[in-house]
Amino acid sequence: MPNRTASASRRINSPSDSRREIVEVIEEWYDLGRVQMVSEIFGGYENRSYRLVTKRQGRPQNHFLRRYKQGITVQEIQFEHALLAHCAARGFTLGARVIANRQGTTYIKPDHSKHVFAVYEFIEGEDKYAWNNPSLNDEEFVSASKTLATFHSAAIGFEPGNFRRVEPPIRDLLPTFRSRFKSFAQTGRNSKFQRFFLTHLDKILESIENNRITKADASLMPHCAIHCDYHPGNLKYLNNRVVGVFDFDWSKIDLRLFDLCMAVDYFCCSWEAGTDGDLRLDKARLFLNAYQERLQQTGGMKPLKPVEIRNLPDILSVANLCIVNWIVSTFYLDDDLNDHDYLAYLQHSVRLMYFIDKQRSTISQIAADLLK
Protein backbone atom coordinates (compact mmCIF):
# COMPACT_ATOMS: atom_id res chain seq x y z
CA MET A 1 0.00 0.00 0.00
CA PRO A 2 1.03 3.65 -0.22
CA ASN A 3 3.57 3.49 2.54
CA ARG A 4 6.86 3.70 0.76
CA THR A 5 7.16 7.09 -0.85
CA ALA A 6 10.67 8.51 -1.17
CA SER A 7 10.69 12.18 -1.99
CA ALA A 8 13.06 14.03 0.35
CA SER A 9 16.13 13.43 2.45
CA ARG A 10 17.76 14.95 5.50
CA ARG A 11 21.32 14.53 6.72
CA ILE A 12 21.58 13.20 10.25
CA ASN A 13 24.54 15.11 11.65
CA SER A 14 24.15 14.71 15.40
CA PRO A 15 24.85 11.39 17.14
CA SER A 16 21.60 9.45 17.50
CA ASP A 17 20.51 5.98 18.38
CA SER A 18 19.35 5.36 14.80
CA ARG A 19 22.58 6.56 13.25
CA ARG A 20 24.74 4.60 15.69
CA GLU A 21 22.72 1.47 15.03
CA ILE A 22 23.08 1.89 11.26
CA VAL A 23 26.83 2.52 11.47
CA GLU A 24 27.21 -0.56 13.65
CA VAL A 25 25.21 -2.72 11.24
CA ILE A 26 27.18 -1.57 8.19
CA GLU A 27 30.66 -1.67 9.66
CA GLU A 28 30.21 -4.89 11.63
CA TRP A 29 28.26 -6.97 9.14
CA TYR A 30 29.16 -5.64 5.67
CA ASP A 31 32.35 -5.20 3.64
CA LEU A 32 31.45 -1.70 2.52
CA GLY A 33 34.06 0.30 4.38
CA ARG A 34 33.54 3.12 6.87
CA VAL A 35 30.27 5.02 6.97
CA GLN A 36 30.75 8.66 5.96
CA MET A 37 27.14 9.87 5.89
CA VAL A 38 23.65 8.67 6.83
CA SER A 39 20.81 10.54 5.16
CA GLU A 40 17.25 9.52 5.94
CA ILE A 41 14.77 9.38 3.07
CA PHE A 42 11.44 10.67 4.27
CA GLY A 43 7.91 10.10 3.05
CA GLY A 44 7.39 6.46 4.05
CA TYR A 45 4.76 5.34 6.54
CA GLU A 46 6.13 2.09 7.98
CA ASN A 47 9.65 1.09 6.95
CA ARG A 48 12.47 3.60 7.29
CA SER A 49 14.91 4.20 4.46
CA TYR A 50 18.36 5.76 4.32
CA ARG A 51 20.93 6.80 1.78
CA LEU A 52 24.42 5.82 2.90
CA VAL A 53 27.81 7.00 1.77
CA THR A 54 30.63 4.63 2.66
CA LYS A 55 34.32 4.80 1.84
CA ARG A 56 36.44 1.77 1.13
CA GLN A 57 40.03 1.89 -0.10
CA GLY A 58 39.62 5.62 -0.57
CA ARG A 59 36.59 5.32 -2.83
CA PRO A 60 33.17 6.68 -1.74
CA GLN A 61 30.08 4.66 -2.67
CA ASN A 62 26.34 5.23 -2.32
CA HIS A 63 24.01 2.60 -0.93
CA PHE A 64 20.38 2.34 0.08
CA LEU A 65 19.50 0.87 3.47
CA ARG A 66 16.08 -0.35 4.53
CA ARG A 67 15.15 -0.73 8.18
CA TYR A 68 12.06 -2.88 8.04
CA LYS A 69 9.02 -2.30 10.18
CA GLN A 70 8.54 -4.44 13.26
CA GLY A 71 6.36 -7.45 12.61
CA ILE A 72 7.56 -8.28 9.10
CA THR A 73 8.72 -11.89 8.88
CA VAL A 74 12.08 -13.07 7.62
CA GLN A 75 10.23 -15.24 5.09
CA GLU A 76 8.63 -12.13 3.57
CA ILE A 77 12.01 -10.43 3.25
CA GLN A 78 13.50 -13.55 1.70
CA PHE A 79 10.60 -13.64 -0.78
CA GLU A 80 11.32 -10.05 -1.79
CA HIS A 81 15.04 -10.64 -2.22
CA ALA A 82 14.60 -13.91 -4.11
CA LEU A 83 12.15 -12.21 -6.46
CA LEU A 84 14.60 -9.39 -7.20
CA ALA A 85 17.32 -11.93 -7.96
CA HIS A 86 15.02 -13.94 -10.21
CA CYS A 87 13.92 -10.89 -12.18
CA ALA A 88 17.48 -9.61 -12.56
CA ALA A 89 18.51 -12.99 -13.94
CA ARG A 90 15.74 -12.64 -16.52
CA GLY A 91 16.92 -9.20 -17.60
CA PHE A 92 14.87 -6.89 -15.37
CA THR A 93 17.62 -4.69 -13.93
CA LEU A 94 15.52 -1.75 -12.70
CA GLY A 95 15.10 -3.27 -9.26
CA ALA A 96 17.93 -2.36 -6.91
CA ARG A 97 20.36 -5.25 -6.34
CA VAL A 98 20.49 -6.57 -2.79
CA ILE A 99 23.98 -6.56 -1.27
CA ALA A 100 24.97 -9.65 0.71
CA ASN A 101 26.63 -9.28 4.09
CA ARG A 102 29.72 -11.07 5.37
CA GLN A 103 27.62 -14.11 6.27
CA GLY A 104 26.37 -14.36 2.71
CA THR A 105 22.77 -13.47 3.57
CA THR A 106 20.81 -10.53 2.19
CA TYR A 107 19.52 -9.25 5.52
CA ILE A 108 20.71 -8.86 9.08
CA LYS A 109 18.89 -8.79 12.42
CA PRO A 110 21.29 -7.79 15.20
CA ASP A 111 20.63 -9.54 18.50
CA HIS A 112 20.09 -6.23 20.30
CA SER A 113 17.72 -4.79 17.66
CA LYS A 114 13.99 -5.17 17.06
CA HIS A 115 14.49 -4.53 13.34
CA VAL A 116 15.74 -6.34 10.27
CA PHE A 117 18.06 -4.44 7.92
CA ALA A 118 18.96 -4.88 4.27
CA VAL A 119 21.34 -2.96 2.02
CA TYR A 120 20.75 -2.32 -1.67
CA GLU A 121 22.63 -0.65 -4.47
CA PHE A 122 21.68 2.99 -4.87
CA ILE A 123 20.02 3.77 -8.19
CA GLU A 124 20.45 7.29 -9.46
CA GLY A 125 17.57 9.23 -10.96
CA GLU A 126 14.88 11.61 -9.79
CA ASP A 127 12.33 11.07 -7.03
CA LYS A 128 9.80 13.23 -8.82
CA TYR A 129 6.46 12.10 -7.44
CA ALA A 130 4.60 10.61 -4.50
CA TRP A 131 1.70 8.18 -4.37
CA ASN A 132 -0.65 11.15 -3.95
CA ASN A 133 1.05 13.26 -6.63
CA PRO A 134 0.70 11.35 -9.93
CA SER A 135 1.42 14.34 -12.16
CA LEU A 136 3.52 12.44 -14.71
CA ASN A 137 3.82 13.59 -18.28
CA ASP A 138 2.65 11.23 -21.03
CA GLU A 139 6.12 9.84 -21.75
CA GLU A 140 6.53 8.98 -18.08
CA PHE A 141 3.08 7.35 -18.00
CA VAL A 142 3.99 5.15 -20.94
CA SER A 143 7.39 4.27 -19.49
CA ALA A 144 5.88 3.39 -16.10
CA SER A 145 3.27 1.15 -17.70
CA LYS A 146 5.73 -0.63 -19.97
CA THR A 147 8.07 -1.12 -17.02
CA LEU A 148 5.29 -2.87 -15.11
CA ALA A 149 4.66 -5.12 -18.11
CA THR A 150 8.37 -5.92 -18.33
CA PHE A 151 8.47 -6.75 -14.63
CA HIS A 152 5.50 -9.12 -14.97
CA SER A 153 7.27 -10.91 -17.83
CA ALA A 154 10.46 -11.18 -15.78
CA ALA A 155 8.53 -12.60 -12.82
CA ILE A 156 7.33 -15.61 -14.82
CA GLY A 157 8.71 -18.84 -13.43
CA PHE A 158 9.51 -17.46 -10.00
CA GLU A 159 9.26 -20.24 -7.42
CA PRO A 160 9.39 -18.81 -3.88
CA GLY A 161 9.66 -22.17 -2.12
CA ASN A 162 9.01 -21.63 1.57
CA PHE A 163 9.29 -17.85 1.25
CA ARG A 164 5.98 -16.07 1.05
CA ARG A 165 4.03 -12.95 1.90
CA VAL A 166 1.84 -13.31 4.98
CA GLU A 167 -0.99 -11.40 3.29
CA PRO A 168 -3.14 -13.85 1.27
CA PRO A 169 -4.04 -13.46 -2.42
CA ILE A 170 -6.74 -10.93 -3.20
CA ARG A 171 -9.56 -13.47 -3.61
CA ASP A 172 -8.99 -14.62 -0.04
CA LEU A 173 -8.20 -11.17 1.33
CA LEU A 174 -11.22 -9.28 -0.01
CA PRO A 175 -13.92 -11.12 2.01
CA THR A 176 -12.09 -10.31 5.26
CA PHE A 177 -12.63 -6.58 4.78
CA ARG A 178 -16.31 -6.72 5.79
CA SER A 179 -15.77 -7.87 9.38
CA ARG A 180 -12.65 -5.75 9.69
CA PHE A 181 -14.42 -2.56 8.65
CA LYS A 182 -17.41 -3.28 10.88
CA SER A 183 -15.07 -3.79 13.82
CA PHE A 184 -13.35 -0.45 13.20
CA ALA A 185 -16.73 1.26 12.89
CA GLN A 186 -17.56 0.22 16.46
CA THR A 187 -14.47 1.73 18.06
CA GLY A 188 -16.27 4.91 19.05
CA ARG A 189 -13.26 7.00 18.10
CA ASN A 190 -14.44 10.60 17.94
CA SER A 191 -12.92 12.17 14.83
CA LYS A 192 -13.79 13.58 11.43
CA PHE A 193 -12.30 10.45 9.93
CA GLN A 194 -14.65 8.24 11.96
CA ARG A 195 -17.70 10.28 10.98
CA PHE A 196 -16.82 10.18 7.28
CA PHE A 197 -16.09 6.45 7.46
CA LEU A 198 -19.44 5.71 9.12
CA THR A 199 -21.30 7.84 6.59
CA HIS A 200 -19.95 5.78 3.68
CA LEU A 201 -19.56 2.40 5.37
CA ASP A 202 -22.69 0.84 3.87
CA LYS A 203 -21.57 1.75 0.36
CA ILE A 204 -18.08 0.39 1.03
CA LEU A 205 -19.55 -2.90 2.26
CA GLU A 206 -21.82 -3.02 -0.77
CA SER A 207 -18.82 -2.54 -3.04
CA ILE A 208 -17.09 -5.50 -1.39
CA GLU A 209 -20.08 -7.69 -2.17
CA ASN A 210 -20.57 -6.42 -5.73
CA ASN A 211 -16.98 -6.82 -6.89
CA ARG A 212 -16.12 -10.40 -6.08
CA ILE A 213 -13.68 -12.31 -8.29
CA THR A 214 -15.13 -15.70 -9.14
CA LYS A 215 -13.00 -18.80 -8.73
CA ALA A 216 -13.73 -19.81 -12.31
CA ASP A 217 -12.55 -16.51 -13.79
CA ALA A 218 -9.51 -16.33 -11.50
CA SER A 219 -8.41 -19.79 -12.64
CA LEU A 220 -8.22 -18.49 -16.22
CA MET A 221 -6.18 -15.37 -15.39
CA PRO A 222 -2.37 -15.24 -15.30
CA HIS A 223 -0.81 -15.38 -11.85
CA CYS A 224 2.73 -14.25 -11.13
CA ALA A 225 4.77 -12.42 -8.53
CA ILE A 226 3.31 -8.92 -8.40
CA HIS A 227 4.70 -5.69 -6.99
CA CYS A 228 1.46 -4.84 -5.13
CA ASP A 229 2.57 -1.25 -4.43
CA TYR A 230 3.39 0.08 -7.90
CA HIS A 231 2.83 3.82 -7.65
CA PRO A 232 4.68 6.93 -8.90
CA GLY A 233 6.59 7.40 -5.64
CA ASN A 234 8.17 3.97 -5.91
CA LEU A 235 9.84 4.78 -9.22
CA LYS A 236 12.82 6.89 -10.23
CA TYR A 237 12.91 8.77 -13.53
CA LEU A 238 15.48 10.20 -15.88
CA ASN A 239 14.70 11.94 -19.18
CA ASN A 240 11.04 10.88 -18.95
CA ARG A 241 11.92 7.21 -18.51
CA VAL A 242 11.76 4.93 -15.48
CA VAL A 243 15.29 4.06 -14.33
CA GLY A 244 14.50 2.39 -11.01
CA VAL A 245 11.72 0.47 -9.26
CA PHE A 246 11.70 0.15 -5.48
CA ASP A 247 9.92 -1.26 -2.47
CA PHE A 248 9.05 -4.82 -3.40
CA ASP A 249 8.29 -5.74 0.21
CA TRP A 250 4.55 -6.02 -0.48
CA SER A 251 5.17 -8.44 -3.35
CA LYS A 252 3.28 -11.73 -3.45
CA ILE A 253 1.97 -14.30 -5.92
CA ASP A 254 -1.39 -13.09 -7.21
CA LEU A 255 -3.38 -12.04 -10.28
CA ARG A 256 -1.32 -9.84 -12.58
CA LEU A 257 -4.56 -7.99 -13.42
CA PHE A 258 -4.85 -6.98 -9.77
CA ASP A 259 -1.36 -5.46 -9.90
CA LEU A 260 -2.18 -3.61 -13.12
CA CYS A 261 -5.49 -2.29 -11.76
CA MET A 262 -3.90 -1.05 -8.54
CA ALA A 263 -1.30 0.75 -10.67
CA VAL A 264 -4.09 2.38 -12.71
CA ASP A 265 -5.77 3.53 -9.49
CA TYR A 266 -2.52 5.07 -8.28
CA PHE A 267 -1.24 6.58 -11.51
CA CYS A 268 -4.46 7.74 -13.16
CA CYS A 269 -6.65 9.07 -10.33
CA SER A 270 -6.75 12.84 -9.84
CA TRP A 271 -5.79 14.50 -6.56
CA GLU A 272 -6.59 17.99 -7.84
CA ALA A 273 -9.22 20.15 -6.14
CA GLY A 274 -12.54 19.80 -7.92
CA THR A 275 -11.66 16.45 -9.53
CA ASP A 276 -10.15 14.62 -6.56
CA GLY A 277 -11.07 10.94 -6.80
CA ASP A 278 -11.92 11.05 -10.51
CA LEU A 279 -10.18 8.48 -12.63
CA ARG A 280 -8.58 10.40 -15.48
CA LEU A 281 -9.95 8.19 -18.22
CA ASP A 282 -7.58 9.48 -20.89
CA LYS A 283 -4.60 8.60 -18.69
CA ALA A 284 -6.12 5.21 -17.83
CA ARG A 285 -6.48 4.47 -21.54
CA LEU A 286 -2.88 5.55 -22.14
CA PHE A 287 -1.58 3.41 -19.28
CA LEU A 288 -3.53 0.30 -20.27
CA ASN A 289 -2.69 0.65 -23.96
CA ALA A 290 1.03 0.95 -23.18
CA TYR A 291 0.90 -2.16 -20.98
CA GLN A 292 -0.87 -4.18 -23.66
CA GLU A 293 1.42 -2.89 -26.40
CA ARG A 294 4.59 -3.90 -24.53
CA LEU A 295 3.33 -7.45 -24.05
CA GLN A 296 2.27 -7.72 -27.68
CA GLN A 297 5.82 -6.86 -28.73
CA THR A 298 7.73 -9.19 -26.42
CA GLY A 299 7.69 -12.80 -25.33
CA GLY A 300 6.94 -13.94 -21.81
CA MET A 301 3.80 -12.67 -20.14
CA LYS A 302 0.86 -12.70 -22.56
CA PRO A 303 -1.24 -9.58 -23.24
CA LEU A 304 -4.49 -9.13 -21.36
CA LYS A 305 -6.99 -11.89 -22.11
CA PRO A 306 -10.76 -11.54 -22.71
CA VAL A 307 -11.51 -12.86 -19.20
CA GLU A 308 -9.29 -10.13 -17.75
CA ILE A 309 -10.85 -7.46 -19.94
CA ARG A 310 -14.28 -8.51 -18.72
CA ASN A 311 -13.19 -8.32 -15.07
CA LEU A 312 -11.13 -5.14 -15.32
CA PRO A 313 -13.77 -2.68 -13.95
CA ASP A 314 -14.47 -4.95 -10.98
CA ILE A 315 -10.80 -5.42 -10.16
CA LEU A 316 -10.21 -1.67 -10.40
CA SER A 317 -12.77 -1.43 -7.61
CA VAL A 318 -11.20 -4.30 -5.68
CA ALA A 319 -7.74 -2.71 -5.89
CA ASN A 320 -9.17 0.55 -4.59
CA LEU A 321 -10.84 -1.32 -1.72
CA CYS A 322 -7.39 -2.66 -0.78
CA ILE A 323 -6.16 0.92 -0.57
CA VAL A 324 -9.19 1.79 1.57
CA ASN A 325 -8.29 -1.14 3.81
CA TRP A 326 -4.73 0.16 4.23
CA ILE A 327 -5.96 3.67 5.06
CA VAL A 328 -8.62 2.53 7.54
CA SER A 329 -6.49 -0.14 9.21
CA THR A 330 -3.49 2.16 9.57
CA PHE A 331 -5.60 4.94 11.05
CA TYR A 332 -7.50 2.85 13.59
CA LEU A 333 -4.47 0.89 14.75
CA ASP A 334 -2.48 4.01 15.61
CA ASP A 335 -4.05 6.62 17.89
CA ASP A 336 -1.34 9.16 17.10
CA LEU A 337 -1.98 9.51 13.36
CA ASN A 338 -2.98 12.82 11.82
CA ASP A 339 -6.76 12.87 11.40
CA HIS A 340 -6.58 15.51 8.66
CA ASP A 341 -4.15 13.60 6.42
CA TYR A 342 -5.87 10.24 6.69
CA LEU A 343 -9.29 11.80 6.19
CA ALA A 344 -8.00 13.24 2.89
CA TYR A 345 -6.70 9.82 1.87
CA LEU A 346 -10.00 8.14 2.71
CA GLN A 347 -12.08 10.80 0.97
CA HIS A 348 -9.96 10.36 -2.15
CA SER A 349 -10.44 6.59 -2.30
CA VAL A 350 -14.14 6.73 -1.46
CA ARG A 351 -14.65 9.24 -4.28
CA LEU A 352 -12.80 6.89 -6.61
CA MET A 353 -15.11 4.06 -5.49
CA TYR A 354 -18.16 6.08 -6.51
CA PHE A 355 -16.50 7.21 -9.75
CA ILE A 356 -15.69 3.67 -10.91
CA ASP A 357 -19.24 2.59 -10.19
CA LYS A 358 -20.72 5.54 -12.09
CA GLN A 359 -18.37 5.22 -15.08
CA ARG A 360 -18.39 1.43 -15.30
CA SER A 361 -19.69 1.29 -18.87
CA THR A 362 -17.04 3.75 -20.09
CA ILE A 363 -14.28 1.84 -18.28
CA SER A 364 -15.58 -1.41 -19.77
CA GLN A 365 -15.34 0.11 -23.26
CA ILE A 366 -11.77 1.30 -22.66
CA ALA A 367 -10.94 -2.22 -21.59
CA ALA A 368 -12.69 -3.81 -24.58
CA ASP A 369 -10.74 -1.57 -26.94
CA LEU A 370 -7.53 -3.23 -25.74
CA LEU A 371 -8.46 -6.36 -27.70
CA LYS A 372 -8.79 -4.55 -31.03
All domains of the chain, ordered by start, with CATH?
8-121 (3.30.200.20), 138-371 (3.90.1200.10)
- CA distances to 23, 111, 128, 289 from 266, in Å: 35, 38, 15, 16
Q: What is the DSSP letter of 279?
A: B
- The rounded distance, in Å, linking the Cα atoms of 10 and 12 is 6
Q: Which residues pair with 269 in a beta bridge?
A: 279
Cβ partners under 8 Å of residue 1, min gap 6:
229, 250, 322, 323, 325, 326, 327, 330
Measure the CA–CA gap between 67 and 23, rounded to whole angstroms.
13
- Render each residue's pLDDT in the chain as its tens digit; 372 residues: 664 333 333 333 334 668 889 999 999 999 999 999 999 987 666 788 999 999 999 999 999 999 998 889 999 999 999 999 999 999 999 999 999 999 999 999 998 888 999 999 999 999 999 999 999 999 999 999 999 999 999 999 999 988 988 899 999 999 999 999 999 999 878 899 999 999 999 999 999 999 989 999 999 999 999 999 999 999 999 999 999 999 999 999 999 999 999 999 999 999 999 999 999 999 999 999 999 999 999 889 999 999 999 999 999 999 999 999 999 999 999 888 878 999 999 999 999 999 999 999 999 999 999 998
Q: Are 305 and 221 in contact (CB under 8 A)?
A: yes
Go through 82-112 and write b for each residue having 16 or more CB atoms within 10 A of its CB, e for each that does not. Answer: bbbebbbebebebbbebbebeeebbbbeeee
pTM for the structure as a whole: 0.93
Report which secondary-structure segment, H or E, holds 346: helix 339-358
